[in-house]
Structure 1
């Protein structure tokens, strides 16, 4: 059995007060325990918060370029370990190797990006109403930030929260998801090697009910950033704001791709398949609804079925699409497949578990047709490789169907009509809107976030928006 990885608290690698550990299994072969981590409790979380609070002032006073140097060195260390980190991500989360390598590279790029941004931090200078007065603003760190991250992007999402928090001078406590915590621990290892001062970053593994709750409620914590399901995120938001914290929640999605009458059906099917079946459908921005004009509906369905059936399923190091991350995720996906069939949707392909891949957590790429807009398969987040195809008679109906959900994270349209494209950009109720592109995939230097139940609609992530969340403005009147 593997040795247990330790928590990172106050610059030391520590074991939990509970004395308990948690096992992480290979989603492609659940009989294989690939890693073991600390099953921490509230006492461990409290120690992490105290360490962060003690380190916060000194790190905040460190010049931005010096903070950037630490981030840049960490990026180099991650780059040197890219293959090792990719192997770890495949083993713990199950992603196909190409997707895992791309995610690791994204984390590296994020650290390089915010290393440079640390040197650019500043405020604005304004003209005062009277003479002999300097009037300007200063950006200061909020203090201690608590980061709660999910398993589906186990290195990229911790990186895009952690890098701007550190770049702007905050101390951090981080709780990664218990299903795949290893890549987040690897970020701590890189930062420790890069010379990050003790206590500035603290990583504690374990359940949300003890670790995350302690983080969110601690008096020393000033800001909370969460990514995960809407149900959990809404509870975390209420808990954080009730305790006076700055709060940023990015949550679920029910993301549509509208296929217009002018679209090429095969091109549209390729876009939808990439967005819907990439990362095994385990992305908050995954396309789960294809809203298709009746003129191209039949051709699109045939092409999408072909795309789904051409995907090779298997272990991440060998196939196009890997397993889902856990047995409970597979059960949830299969439950929605049963619900869709019972509601009256037609199973065009997939819908089952491959019978030649052992006990791995696999689900076939699945396409449903004859889906009505009010079916649960068209309204609720599935988080698996399932696409519901909805037929519409015109663009106005397509837009109405696209917006007729409780979520608003990502959306796209496939069209050759520029007027439709402009209308969709203006009227789509989503925080990310794309034209002739898949719903997944994000640039790291522009804001990311959703509308409605996809987000707290308070602060965006990434780029300058990430800087904004982790800083607070001070206005200075210097009457010299």
Structure 2
């Protein structure tokens, strides 16, 4: 019998007043129900926010190294439970086991990293313009932070929001995505075991229309960090802006990889393929457009088709390369775009359907898909698909490649594959993206440098991760001291 999981509010695991729950299923086998979670409403969310507000002063007054020690112990808890967390992530989100294990390790590393940053928190000393005086700054927490996280990285993204928020002295209310809340719940358990005070961390599950809206509207919430779709992000921003909350949004992408005439074609196909089909294409930084020079176009398409067809498809726990999509609606969306691509006149080179073996009938599986003969104005070249689908677009020169790369409402991640150093530098200078890579896939991030996009990929207010993540959750007090 699947367990029923409560919300975590003011240090206690508790049910909603209504008693309503929702089921979370294994996307590789929908007969496998993982657990039931609370179908929270605005009143449940408000209780969590009020608990965070009540705990904020005490947590802010806790010395930063002491807060860092709790993060360090959380990292140790995560490390000790890594196998369990990996299996949990695979069962609820569908990633292949190596991908899930890497994500769990990422969460461990994030908590260790910000635990160490606790020792360096403070401010800056500046030269005063008069004698017998000092001029310096102090960093202070904003207060209560609402964290709204997606299902595609269900432990890494909560970790990279929770750790900097907590280490800087903020209390938090975390709303995970309903498709994959279980591994985030276990992350909160690790924080609880590490000794985080009652009310400093609160965990509330339920629909965005209830829980997310309540977080955005509540007067006691001082900051909102959101990762998800551009459509929802716009609503979050508009709602939060009504009382001038600090807002950080990271949203969608239509990420290009440019393949120049000097590129090693086999290497380029592997870079594009791993960026497009890794994590079943369910990453905001996934490669969805390959923009390829005419002189190597046909050779590249064949190499990418070979790469796609070499990948095995199946349940993540069984060591397949490509797992299922997270839900029936995500699968339907991907299949719909594959149909659109064919209707628009693109050539379906590989994939395009669902595996038909009996073992896949209860899962949301789709084949890695390659389209060639794609023109930049086609919907499959403009709209985010969020599945393992890549559109290959021919161009005649480097300038056209950059122009096509920038022809998108999004600007999250972009890469170029080239052996020409001049083109590499020009691409870095000219491409419209918050993350730019040379001879690397568009996916994959270092945890100690800023992450964020441009255009409709981001609010372009604050970046996440590293020192930028700390900046978002702090405000500056300037002190003039005349002694």
TM-score normalised according to structure 2 size: 0.99
CA contact (8 A) 1:17 1:41 kept: no
How far 1:322 sits from its partner (Å)?
Answer: 0.3
- Aligned match of 1:413: 416
Name the residue aligned to 2:333.
Answer: 332
Partner of 1:346: 347
Work out the CA distance in 2 between the residues paired with 1:31 and 1:12. Answer: 31
Match of 2:371 among 368, 372, 382: 368
The answer as to 2:452 corresponding to 1:449 is yes
Question: C-alpha distance in 1, partners of 2:353/2:398?
Answer: 33
Deviation at 1:170, TM superposition (A): 0.2
- How many Å separate the matches in 1 of 2:456 and 2:388? 21
Using the TM superposition, give the Cα deviation of residue 17 of structure 1 relative to its aligned residue in structure 2, in angstroms.
Answer: 1.5
**Deviation digits for residues 28-50 of structure 1, max 9, x if unmatched?**
01111111111111111000000
Number of residues paired by the alignment? 480
Using the size of structure 1 for normalisation, the TM-score is 1.00
1:201 corresponds to 2:204: no
Q: Which residue of 2 aligns with 1:14?
A: 14
Structure 1 residues 38-187: aligned runs within 5 Å = 38-187=38-187
User: Aligned to 2:391, what secondary structure does the other structure show?
Assistant: strand
1:297-446 alignment, distance < 5 Å: 297-318=297-318, 319-356=320-357, 357-446=360-449
1:462 aligns with 465
- Cα distance in 2 for partners of 1:365, 1:376 equals 18
Gap runs ≥5 in structure 1: none
SS in 1 for 2:317: coil
Q: What is the CA-CA distance between 1:383 and the residue it aligns to?
A: 0.1
1:2, distance to aligned residue in structure 2 (A): 1.0
In 2, Cα distance between equivalents of 1:247 and 1:193 = 30
Specify the SS of the correspondent of 2:371. Answer: strand
Partners in 1 of 2:244 and 2:429 — Cα distance?
Answer: 34
Aligned residues of 1:256 and 1:291 also touching (Cα < 8 A): yes
Aligned counterparts of 1:243 and 1:128: Cα–Cα separation in 2? 35
Whole-Å separation in 2 of the counterparts to 1:348 and 1:385: 13
| Alpha-carbon distance, 1:187 to partner | 1.2
Give the match's secondary structure for 1:288.
strand
Q: Residue 228 of structure 1: CA displacement? A: 0.2
Q: How far is the alpha carbon of 1:243 from its aligned partner?
A: 2.2
The worse-fitting range, judged by mean Cα deviation, of 439-448 and 27-36 is: 27-36
3-state SS of 1:46 partner: helix
Deviation of the 1:398 alpha carbon: 0.2
- Deviation digits for residues 165-195 of structure 1 (CA, Å, limit 9, x no counterpart): 0000000001000000011111110010000
Tell me which residue corresponds to 1:227.
Answer: 227
Runs in 1 of length 4+ with deviation above 3 angstroms? Answer: none
Give me the CA root mean square deviation.
Answer: 0.5
Partner Cα distance (2:211, 2:265) in 1: 48
The whole-number CA distance in structure 2 between the counterparts of 1:3 and 1:83 is: 20
1:40 is paired with a residue whose SS is coil
8 Å contact kept, 1:334–1:351: yes
1:339 Cα deviation after fit: 0.5
User: C-alpha separation between the residues in 2 aligned to 1:185 and 1:33?
Assistant: 16
